[in-house]
Amino acid sequence: MRELLEAVADGSLSPAEAEAQLKGYVTDEAGRFDAARQQRRGIPEAIFADGKSAAQVVAFAETALETTDRALLTRVSDRQVAALESCLEESFPDATLERRSSTVRITTPTYDPPSLDATVGIVTAGTVDGPVADEAEVVCTDAGATVDRIDDIGVAALDRTLDQVDRLREADVLIVAAGREGALPTVIAGLVDTPVIGVPVASGYGHAGAGEAALAGMLQSCTVMSVVNIDAGFVAGAQATLIARAIDAARH
């Protein structure tokens, strides 16, 4: 305790960093940030930007960078990204911002990225599934896993899937995103001996549209796999990360 207080007093440790070490979380005017989630769960807290103001998103990102040297944000709008870029120019000029669709990852030069000896295959049925798969990919890449991305192999032309079977079987865990009737994860799960995580995507129209048919189809799969909520790319990426971490630990 005294060492923490002395570090805050001499400026080598910020109050937010000290609070994170003492409590595991940091409280500011935007809310609480779980700075200890990476150590506790093996995956970081992601800042869910949808529904938050640009100022709130920036505040959470600043806290994340100050306490963990990295910020992971999902469902980020163009306006929020612009606010983040302005903040970085002023407060973290050496930080790097990477964006994939609506997912953003920011790291400082002092961030020490992890590395996992495991491969996550991320598969999409069609182009519309890309942003959800991007969200999962950023999470897995952030965890240090190798990502093998395979796009546009939906079952409307099954040869596109069968052409990739050998590649699919090389992955340690698979994330498969599909909309409409959500058939692709079920098909792939019947072809491989690795864990498959199905991600229903809110595409489609008419009866049970907006991902509901895809979710129902995956839940009713006759092949063994797990399923996350509609458009839940982050959850799929986090689940794949936990599996990848276990595989890495077993290999070493």
Architecture of domain 119-251 in this structure: 3-Layer(aba) Sandwich (3.40)
HSE-up of residue 179 (Cα within 13 Å, Cβ side): 19
**DSSP letter string, 170-213:** H-SEEEEEE-TT--HHHHHHTT-SS-EEEEE-S---STTTTTHH
What is the total residue count of the chain?
252
Domain layout of the chain by residue ranges = 2-107, 119-251
Question: pTM value?
Answer: 0.88
The reported pLDDT for the residue numbered 5 is: 45
pLDDT digits (tens, 9 = 90+) for 130-140: 999 999 999 99
pLDDT band at 30 (very low <50, low <70, confident <90, very high): low
